[in-house]
């Protein structure tokens, strides 16, 4: 898979077809809900519902450690299981699940390159059978919160330039013309972007078939906007799922050591009292 | 079951770009409409024909997109 910094975290659809049923492999389809999974899914795959199973919806938080351990155990996953994640919606929520599994220290978790769309476009097998699961025991690591950006770090990045801020939303969201992706609920009170953030929509990192662009293309994309491994980077979007995708690109495909996902994202910043906001289209890098 | 008759097409609804992805699984056609930029799913529908599944997806997408406000910047 190209000359990515960590190619071991990506698997192809061919690999999943050949190895998805291996005893030490667990395939999980992840999306905002399980409607796509219910239509039909990769044989043997389990389903994770982002809203109900991967978030603490009351605290607006990632899962606490005990609930994460319970989800893994009930999914038949032990700490040495190879977990392959894929999903619809361009692998956004799959990338969120990947990010959360890395926060809790799961060693071998991989994304299926191209996600559900590529599997469908290749005319592969789907089933509506729900995979049987034998519960396991699971003990998570202490959370690695260096992978997650909280508001104070983002404020410092904006005000003092301590990190590159990468806004991965659509140009209309970045400019403030729209407050949410067209057709989805507005979750903030005003539009715009965090001052200093560069606009690099998530979709620039993938090809038409949903697979990731090459290392060289990605390095040019982010480097052209002044985002490189020489300084920390923070990705954000509206609710943190698109930015998980970009976080994955920066961390594992380009090999940035210091990159975090601001999952509070515009839903947090766009509702803050007294927070600075910039509006308008993106300026050229260095302008 | 294998995925069959996979196809994609783009259209505009109320000034917004929309992408349809349709395929057949067994006797049922499945259609998803997304909003292209950024690419979020708006509707998932089924039908006994491609036309029926796509028509339902377009109707649902139109409903949702009609609620989106453009703000002056």
Identify the weakest region by mean pLDDT among A31-35, A39-43, A98-102, A141-145: A31-35
pTM (2 d.p.): 0.97
Is residue A10 within a helix (H) or strand (E), and if so which, with residue range? strand A10-11
With contact defined as beta carbons under 8 Å apart, do A260 and A62 qualify? no
Contacts of A121 in chain B (CB under 8 A): 6
Kindly indicate the confidence band of residue A287, based on its pLDDT and cuts at 50, 70 and 90: low
The fraction of chain A above a pLDDT of 90, given in percent, is 97
With contact defined as beta carbons under 8 Å apart, do A82 and A21 qualify? no
Q: For the domain made up of A7-143, give the CATH fold.
A: Oxidized Rhodanese; domain 1 (3.40.250)
Minimal Cα distance from B71: which residue of A?
A177
pLDDT tens-digit series, residues A212-254: 999 999 999 999 999 999 999 999 999 999 999 999 999 999 9
The boundaries of every CATH 3.40.250.10 domain in chain A are 7-143, 146-269
| pLDDT for residue A35 is more than 80 | yes
Q: Other C-beta atoms within 10 Å of A208: how many?
A: 8
With contact defined as beta carbons under 8 Å apart, do A231 and A242 qualify? no
Based on the residue annotation, tell me whether A237 is a catalytic residue of this protein.
yes
Instruction: For residues A151-159, give the mean pLDDT.
Output: 98
Query: With an 8 Å Cβ cutoff, are B73 and A175 in contact?
Result: yes
- Determine contact: A43 vs chain B, CB below 8 A: no
- Which CATH code is given to the segment(s) A146-269? 3.40.250.10
With contact defined as beta carbons under 8 Å apart, do A20 and A124 qualify? no
- Strand-pairing partners, residue A234, are A165, A260
Distance in angstroms (rounded) separating the CA atoms of residues A33 and A245: 18
How confident is the prediction along chain B (73 residues), in pLDDT tens digits per residue?
999 999 999 999 999 999 999 999 999 999 999 999 999 999 999 999 999 999 999 999 999 999 999 999 8
Closest Cβ–Cβ partner in B25, B39, B41 for A40: B25
Distance in angstroms (rounded) separating the CA atoms of residues B57 and B68: 17
Distance in angstroms (rounded) separating the CA atoms of residues B18 and A187: 21
Q: Mark A89-99 as b/e (b = at least 16 C-beta within 10 Å).
A: bbbbbbbbbbb
Q: How far is B63 from chain A (nearest CA, A)?
A: 8
Complex ipTM value:
0.96
pLDDT tens-digit series, residues A267-285: 999 999 999 999 998 776 6
């Amino acid at each position: 898979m190209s000359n990515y910094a960590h190619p071991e975290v990506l698997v192809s659809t061919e690999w999943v077809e050949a190895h998805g049923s291996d005893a030490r492999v667990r395939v999980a389809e992840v999306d905002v809900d399980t409607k796509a999974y219910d239509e039909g899914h990769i044989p043997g795959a389990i389903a994770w519902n982002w809203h109900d199973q991967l978030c603490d919806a009351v605290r607006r938080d990632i899962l606490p450690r005990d609930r994460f351990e319970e989800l893994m155990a009930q999914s038949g996953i032990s700490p040495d299981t190879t977990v392959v994640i894929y999903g619809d919606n361009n692998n956004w929520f799959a990338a969120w699940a990947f990010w959360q599994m890395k926060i809790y220290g799961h060693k071998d978790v991989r994304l299926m390159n191209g996600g559900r769309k590529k599997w469908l476009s290749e005319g592969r097998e789907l089933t509506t059978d729900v995979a049987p699961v034998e519960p396991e025991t699971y003990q998570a690591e202490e959370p690695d919160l260096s992978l997650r950006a909280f508001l104070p770090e983002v404020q410092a990045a904006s005000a003092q330039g301590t990190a590159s801020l990468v806004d991965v939303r659509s140009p209309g969201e970045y400019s403030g013309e729209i407050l949410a992706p067209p057709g989805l609920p507005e979750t903030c009170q005003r539009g715009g972007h965090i001052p200093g953030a560069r606009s690099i929509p998530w979709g620039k990192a993938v090809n038409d078939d949903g697979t990731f662009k090459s290392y060289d293309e990605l390095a040019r994309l982010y480097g052209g906007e002044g985002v490189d491994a020489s300084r920390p980077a923070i990705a954000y979007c509206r609710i943190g799922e698109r930015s998980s995708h970009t976080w994955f690109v920066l961390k594992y495909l380009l090999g940035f050591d210091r990159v975090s996902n601001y999952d509070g994202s515009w839903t947090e910043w766009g509702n803050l009292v007294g927070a600075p906001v910039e509006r308008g289209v993106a300026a050229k890098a260095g302008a | 079951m294998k995925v069959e008759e996979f196809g994609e097409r783009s259209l505009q609804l109320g000034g917004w770009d929309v992408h349809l992805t349709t395929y057949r699984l067994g006797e049922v056609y499945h259609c998803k409409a997304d909003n292209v930029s950024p690419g979020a799913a708006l509707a998932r529908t089924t039908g006994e024909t491609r036309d029926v599944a796509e028509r339902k997806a377009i109707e649902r997408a139109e409903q949702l997109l009609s609620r989106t406000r453009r703000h002056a910047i």
